[in-house]
Structure 1
Amino acid sequence: MLEGAQKVPSPKLDLFIRKRFLTPEECAEIVARIDAKRRPSEIADDLGYAAYRTSETCDLDGADPVVAALNERICAYMGIDPAFGEPIQGQRYAVGQEFKQHTDYFEPDGPDYARYCTVSGQRTWTAMIYLNDPAAGGATRFKVIDKIVQPETGKIVAWNNRRADGTPNPATLHAAMKVRSGVKYVITKWFRERPWG
């Protein structure tokens, strides 16, 4: 699992980074798809704070051969059966856009927990890939371990949203920092405890 990745040295969470997981050409193909179908991003357990997440999102079409091949590759790399994966999502951040501190798991006592977790269970792993290098800003900050990951075309970042005992890990708290110049594109794939859908 996670061949060629560097594990971030922290006892608080399992976080892996690998450069050049995708080629610039592969990234460009996905960027074009995100641009074609992007919409304002949404948020689970909405706190009613409009500026909390200001990016745009695209639900990538799993029937698209390019997306299907990418999905297979991510699942193989993660060593997780594709049945446990959510569809791949693309995100676009323009200048000034961000996603403030959040975790990818659903809060067990949050208002949307039952809605999102009844069928497939909690999120387990997150795999995120940067599709380009914005001119400035756009890093991902893991506050609890004081780790900042800079965006770099083709770089994959993966982390386990759970502790060793299977409970949600608050040390995975992270933020997509504001893009200061240029545009940032990423894709995210989340995995669940039980088969998706």
Structure 2
Amino acid sequence: MKRGMKQDVTRAREPGSEGVMREMDAAWQQWLTTNVGRGCTPESMVDAMVQAGFDKDAAREIVRRAASNTGAEAAVIETPPDEAGAYDYDACPVAAGNIVRAHDRDVAVRVRFERPQVIVFDDVLSRDECDELIERARHRLKRSTTVNPESGREDVIQLRTSEGFWFQRCEDAFIERLDRRISALMNWPLEHGEGLQILHYTKGGEYRPHFDYFPPSQSGSVLHTSRGGQRVATLIVYLSDVAGGGETVFPNAGLAVMARQGGAIYFRYLNGHRQLDPLTLHGGAPVTNGEKWIMTKWMRERPYV
């Protein structure tokens, strides 16, 4: 896989040793606190900050202080730097080949990556299906939340600047058709899927690097894994083209995927041994022009109720 991801991942002021600490705004402080609490490796956080323009040595010191201030230094700073090497990349559930039959539609594979397990698809949804999902959700959007690592509650935070809406799984004939298509594409049982989530980002909207899985070491994860177990894989479907920015970025893998209406990106982070892949740290780069609409499907280990 070719490395060298685009640099438009997150934004930061010009760093400068001690001055960096004074210039860390509230959004970056929240980002640090959240990712330290989630058990992210220091290397993943430092790399994300460097991609955003921070000096590497300054970023290391900021991460060290953030971990120390939250009482998580031993758990985070001493994580082995080659954590990704411990993950066993077993066979991906998605069917092999350039075309995958997904219930009622043939879906083209644009590219596959092995580490992390990422697949980019074309034409998962038609233009009309994308437009219908946007129109159904447009007037029902609410500010997006993220999981509090301690309590498991859904909190509104500055590192996620989008609006969203959830469809219930198979709530009508149209949504059922899409749920069945996505289940077949991901090759995972329909009843293991969460409902389809629609997200809308306007200019400047972003979602800074994070994991989709629930870190087992965090007390708040218990609340979520009690309903269907751990998340296994994600499918992000692009409901619109984006005039500028808005890429899905994997900062530790040197990978960025541009939004293309009807296309999608699949990534898997729980293998058959129940290991979690830290290379799936990912985010949504800031939208620099226009707007961005996506639909997300998360699959669980067991039936999601």
Q: Which residue of 2 aligns with 1:145?
A: 253
Alpha-carbon separation, structure 2, partners of 1:9 and 1:26: 27
Out of 200, 208, 214, the position equivalent to 1:106 is: 214
Q: Which residue of 2 aligns with 1:38?
A: 141
Alpha-carbon separation, structure 1, partners of 2:178 and 2:113: 28
Structure 2 CA distance for partners of 1:7 and 1:88, relative to 1, 3 Å: same
Structure 1: 5+ residue stretches without partners? none
Q: Which residue of 1 aligns with 2:127?
A: 24
Alpha-carbon separation, structure 1, partners of 2:146 and 2:245: 22
Out of 165, 182, 187, the position equivalent to 1:79 is: 187
Out of 159, 165, 176, the position equivalent to 1:68 is: 176
Alpha-carbon separation, structure 1, partners of 2:243 and 2:179: 28
Helix, strand or coil for the counterpart of 2:252?
coil
Alpha-carbon separation, structure 2, partners of 1:56 and 1:132: 15
**How far 1:64 sits from its partner (Å)?**
2.8
TM-score (norm 1): 0.93
Higher helix share: 2
TM-score (norm 2): 0.61
Helix, strand or coil for the counterpart of 1:5?
strand
Which amino acid in 1 is paired with 2:157?
Answer: A
Show CA shifts across 1:154-190 (max 9, x none). 0011111224532111100001011111110000010
Q: Which has the higher contact order (CA 8 A, sep 6+)?
A: 1
Q: Which residue of 1 aligns with 2:112?
A: 8
Structure 2: 5+ residue stretches without partners? 1-93, 101-107
Helix, strand or coil for the counterpart of 1:8?
strand
- The size of the alignment, in residue pairs, is 196
Paired-residue identity, %: 28
Helix, strand or coil for the counterpart of 1:83?
helix
The answer on whether the counterparts of 2:110 and 2:122 sit within 8 Å (CA) in structure 1 is no
Which amino acid in 2 is paired with 1:122?
Answer: Q
